Structure 1
Amino acid sequence: MKKILCSTFIVLLLVGCAKEQKEVNNFDPSFVHVVYFWLKDPGNMEDRKALEASLEKFMRTSRYAKTQFVGIPPKATREVVDDSFAYNLVLTFASAEEQEMYQKEEAHLLFIKESEDLWERVVVYDANGLKAKQ
């Protein structure tokens, strides 16, 4: 019985590691688009739910965004960490050209239309990877 349990644990561990590695491999370093949102009323749970729903819909329907990550700031424990934002969005694209197409795609424009009244500030950082695919 101990052998079966041990074997099962090892298989589950390997499957979990493989899945985690696959998710890491989906990160495309060609073009990274990082967006920070500051909400007008960050304590308003209805506003937060509305933004989250709009973000989820956008990510499901975007034709160009590859890696898709939405986060909230952890409590900062060091002075260099800025935890003043409400949400963070990280998207990757195969190229700068695809990122430009994303800017004009219906899913992105609809997200802006649905959510722009919720935020007071948005900051975007774009970057090309040093070893981006050529």
Structure 2
Amino acid sequence: MEAQTQSEKINGEFIHMVFFWLKNPDSESDRAAFKNALTKFINTNSQVVSSHIGEPAATNRPVIDSSYTFSLVVTFPDLATHDAYQSDPTHLLFIEEAQTLWEKVRVYDSLAD
């Protein structure tokens, strides 16, 4: 097996990471409704370059916070595209449809050097 010499760069210079804590994380119907709304949103938004919808991995180390219910990681080519995404009708519709399901949201944004 040949050693990998360079890791593949993430596609998009601006990374938007969102973590959601649902009000009723043990409710299968709430989880399904939230995931459906999130998936519909990401599949219809034109600004997103790449995306990942996930749930906490089964990892257990002191530095890991796995208290969230769902995560969303999306990339954009630049800050301006991210800013347009914030007011895009698909984003606003997702918030309208899903905000009653979450109790907390945390966002971490990162811009490549």
Give yes or no for TM over 0.5.
yes
Query: What is the CA-CA distance between 1:26 and the residue it aligns to?
Result: 6.4
Question: Comparing both chains, which one has the higher relative contact order based on Cα–Cα distances under 8 Å and sequence gaps of 6 or more?
Answer: 2
SS at match of 1:127: strand
Kindly indicate whether the alpha-carbon contact (under 8 Å) linking 1:40 and 1:119 is maintained by their aligned counterparts in 2. yes
Kindly indicate whether the alpha-carbon contact (under 8 Å) linking 1:61 and 1:107 is maintained by their aligned counterparts in 2. yes
RMSD: 1.5
TM-score normalized by structure 2? 0.89
TM-score normalized by structure 1? 0.76
Query: What is the CA-CA distance between 1:40 and the residue it aligns to?
Result: 0.3
* 1:118 equivalent in structure 2: 101
Structure 1 pair 25/86, CA: closer, same or farther in 2 (3 Å)? same
**Larger gyration radius, structure 1 or structure 2:** 1
Deviating above 3 A after TM superposition, structure 1's stretches of 4 or more consecutive aligned residues are none
> Structure 1: which 5+ runs fail to align?
1-23
Question: Is the counterpart of residue 86 in structure 1 residue 64 in structure 2?
Answer: no
More helix by share: 1
User: Which of 9, 14, 17 is the matching residue for 1:34?
Assistant: 17
More strand by share: 2
> Structure 2: which 5+ runs fail to align?
1-7
Give the number of aligned pairs: 107
SS at match of 2:64: coil
State how far apart, in whole Å, the 2-side matches of 1:27 and 1:117 are. Answer: 32
